[in-house]
Amino acid sequence: MFRTAMKLRFGHWLFGFALLCSSAFAADTFRIATYNVENYLDQPTATRPHAKSPEAKAKIRESIRALNPEVLALEEMGGPNALLELRAALKADGQDFPFWEHVPSYDTNIHIAVLSKLPIVARRPHTNEMFLLDGRRFRVKRGFAEVDIQAADHFTFTLLAAHLKSHLTTPEADEAEERLGEAKVLRQIIDSRFAANPNAKLVIVGDFNDTKDSAPTKEIIGHGKLKLTDTRPAERNGDTAPGQPPYFEPRDVAWTYFYGKTDSYSRIDYILLSPAMKRNWLADETYIPAIPNWGIGSDHRPIVAGFSTAEK
């Protein structure tokens, strides 16, 4: 099955190349979403004993239909077969993603993946990134997805998708330090893209497993001229009250994750933009869909941001 999946992906490469050579793009806007789909496994594993239930899969698809994205990054995706099963089910629902990427990683259970209606024209998966912690070498557990996507004849952007270390403790190291180490590796990749082109159109998405004021998230966002913009999607529920004091974030509903053990809600999923990509950002088309019984599908809610392909 895995070999079949790889053949299919090669076919998508050829299809994408033919599309780029033979036709122009008509759409002038597009949407990018990210969604942690919580153990989307097609079969149990030794450490994750439950496959995704049909009810949970249906809710995942409902949530994706509500987003209606052109590009979708997925965290906690199972193997290639699980991704292809979701892709086929979405196509049957009217959401066709001809292009896809699945990133194998040190964590053999859950992975990062990308589904796209727009052609993926380059792929640079990061599957063996390392960092030092107390003199010991650690591997980024889930790697990073990196793809170039062509949204229009004149508009290509780079998507980087991440799923940083969870808060679960391990005997090897402090989980917060591991997460910061992974964040530093991600920022190094971002800085390398800026070194090649300060005007690079970058979108960094995913589950950072930490809040905006945390060291890992601050590390990824950076500072100065090449600081990333946090799009901060929120519910469209009518809340418009400003933050108190004014330099706080607005008092709208922007949490993305529920942790049942502590009965707490937090914002740990992000869509971040480079300065050049920010110019094409449509803030009014950036939000969290309010979906009844969203928790059947995952302990995370999906987020989406809109963009224009106009020259800016």
Q: Report the CATH number that the domain containing residue 284 is assigned in CATH.
A: 3.60.10.10
DSSP state of 290: -
- Domain count along the chain: 1
Question: What is the token pair recorded at 256?
Answer: 């993305």
DSSP-H helix ranges across 100-165: none
Band (266; pLDDT cuts 50, 70, 90): very high
- As a whole-number percent, the residues of the chain with pLDDT over 90 amount to 80
The SS3 call for residue 95 is coil
- Residue numbers of the domain that contains 176: 2-21+30-308
- Separation between Cα atoms, residue 58 and residue 60, nearest integer Å: 5
Q: What is the mean pLDDT of the chain?
A: 91
Q: How far out from the chain centre does Cα 135 lie?
A: 31
Tell me the angle at which helices 2-22 and 80-92 cross, rounded to the nearest 10 degrees: 50
pTM of the model: 0.90
pLDDT in tens, 8-31: 454 444 444 444 443 334 479 999
pLDDT in tens, 101-160: 999 989 999 999 999 999 999 999 999 999 999 999 999 999 999 999 999 999 999 999
In Å, how far are 29, 198, 282, 307 from 311, measured between CA atoms?
12, 17, 14, 12
- Among 10-14, 72-76, 207-211, 230-234, name the one with the lowest average pLDDT: 10-14
In Å, how far are 123, 146, 205, 234 from 158, measured between CA atoms?
10, 7, 11, 24
DSSP state of 288: B
- Separation between Cα atoms, residue 250 and residue 256, nearest integer Å: 15
- Report pLDDT for 10: 47
DSSP letter for each residue of 268-283: -EEEEE-HHHHTTEEE
- Report pLDDT for 111: 97
What number is the average pLDDT over the span 209-218? 97
In three state form, how does the secondary structure of 189-231 look? HHHHHHHHCCCCCEEEEEECCCCCCCHHHHHHHCCHHHCCEEC
pLDDT in tens, 154-200: 999 999 999 999 998 888 889 999 999 999 999 999 999 999 999 99
Tell me the angle at which helices 80-92 and 54-67 cross, rounded to the nearest 10 degrees: 60
Q: Is omega for the bond preceding 119 within 30 degrees of 0, making it cis? A: no
What number is the average pLDDT over the span 69-93? 97
Which residue type is seen at 4?
A: T
